[in-house]
Structure 1
Amino acid sequence: MSDFLGPVEPDGRIPPYQQTRVAAFLISAHGALARQFAFTLPARLDAAWQTELNAQFYREAEIVSLLLRATSWGLDLSLGYMVASWETAWAPAPIDGIADPHLNQAVHLATLAHAVHAGIRPAALLPLEANAQDPFVMALRRIEFESGRLLQAQILFLKGTDLAQHRDAVSAALEQRHAGVRKLWRELLESIGIGAPAA
């Protein structure tokens, strides 16, 4: 097991089979977030926190678009099963203790997004010898940068006054989401010969 992607090709590119699996996982996660943000957005924004949903929807869609174009795809017959298990994991899960369905869905989305953006650090997998000008390498760095920005919005919402009375329910949901995302990410990395990153 290695700590990084590779070994890189002579031109410094990440092997296509690793690009394919990492990109497929990231597209699944960020695509699920984009879809759920789109369905959660009301026709008219009635609360301040809803304005952030609109911005996050477009950022998640941009990440998916970037990966689709920057990845050197390879045939991977195992992806069908893997994608199905990932998509099931992203499905909305009701949060006990929050009766308002709109707020419940917003908390689900924020906890899932927090877990994805905080728990998946794709640029940390890049070896020093990776070609800095390769589109896939640049895409992973861009995604990690955007994730840091998006994470701030989720933190503000999850720690905001709107959720003060639901703090225990939110904390439990967040912990559960982080554990689920970490497990899937670790399994994905192990499938391409990378050891689990430190928790």
Structure 2
Amino acid sequence: MSAFFGPLQADGRVPPRQQTRVAAFLVSAHGALARQFAVALPARFDAAWQTELNAQFYRESEIVSLLMRATAWVPDLALGPMAASWEMAWLPAPIEGIADHTRAQTIHLATLAHAVHAGIRPAALLPTEANANDPFVMALRRIEFESGRLLQAQILFLKGPDLQPFRDAVGATLERRHAEVHRLWHETLAGVGVGVRE
């Protein structure tokens, strides 16, 4: 199993089967974030932090749109059951010690976003000889750049004073989310012969 995509095609492009599997996973994860940010958006902003929700919603939507267009899609019969398991993993789960549904939903969304943006580094899988002009290669680099920016908002929120009384519950939820995203990402890559370096 290789630590990078490949073997690359003669023109330096990532094989379509690897593109399809990785893009499907990323579309599922970022699509779930976009949907959940859309639901969390209030009809009217009453606080400054709500503008960040709006920005994150659009960035997640842009990532999905970029992947849909930049990927060389091919049929993959394994995607049906895999996508179902991914979508189930993104669903909110109750957070022990937090009875306020709105607060729990916000923590769920922030921890999922943190796990996706911090735990998935698709551009790190590109070998140095990958074609820099390949739309898929460019898309992965763009996604990783955007993830770094989006991650800052999750860190500020999760470490903010509003969640100080719930620090243990937030920490446990974040740890669980990271483990789940890590497992699913590794399984996805292993299915196309890529092994992530720890």
* TM, length-normalised to structure 1: 0.97
Alignment of 1:46-195 (within 5 A): 46-195=46-195
Listed as ranges, the gaps of 5+ residues in structure 1 are none
**Partner amino acid, structure 1, of 2:70:** A
Q: CA deviation at 1:42?
A: 1.1
Partner of 2:44: 44
**Partner amino acid, structure 2, of 1:103:** R
Q: CA deviation at 1:196?
A: 3.0
**Partner amino acid, structure 1, of 2:37:** F
Query: How far apart, in 1, do the equivalents of 2:168 and 2:48 lie?
Result: 23
2:23 maps to 1:23: yes
Aligned residues of 1:33 and 1:57 also touching (Cα < 8 A): yes
Aligned residues of 1:118 and 1:151 also touching (Cα < 8 A): yes
**Partner amino acid, structure 1, of 2:36:** Q
User: Number of residues paired by the alignment?
Assistant: 198
Q: CA deviation at 1:79?
A: 0.5
Query: How far apart, in 1, do the equivalents of 2:178 and 2:133 lie?
Result: 32
Q: CA deviation at 1:44?
A: 1.6
**Residues 45-100 of structure 1: CA distance to partner in whole angstroms, max 9, x if unpaired?**
22332221111000000000000000000110110011000000000112122222
Aligned residues of 1:29 and 1:86 also touching (Cα < 8 A): yes
Query: How far apart, in 1, do the equivalents of 2:118 and 2:8 lie?
Result: 26
Partner of 1:9: 9
- Secondary structure of 1:157 counterpart: helix
Percent identity over the alignment is: 75
CA RMSD of aligned residues (A): 0.8
- Secondary structure of 1:127 counterpart: coil
Aligned residues of 1:121 and 1:144 also touching (Cα < 8 A): yes
- Secondary structure of 2:115 counterpart: helix
Query: How far apart, in 2, do the equivalents of 1:93 and 1:40 lie?
Result: 16
* TM, length-normalised to structure 2: 0.98
Query: How far apart, in 1, do the equivalents of 2:100 and 2:52 lie?
Result: 19
Aligned residues of 1:122 and 1:141 also touching (Cα < 8 A): yes
- Secondary structure of 2:23 counterpart: helix
Partner of 1:33: 33
Listed as ranges, the gaps of 5+ residues in structure 2 are none
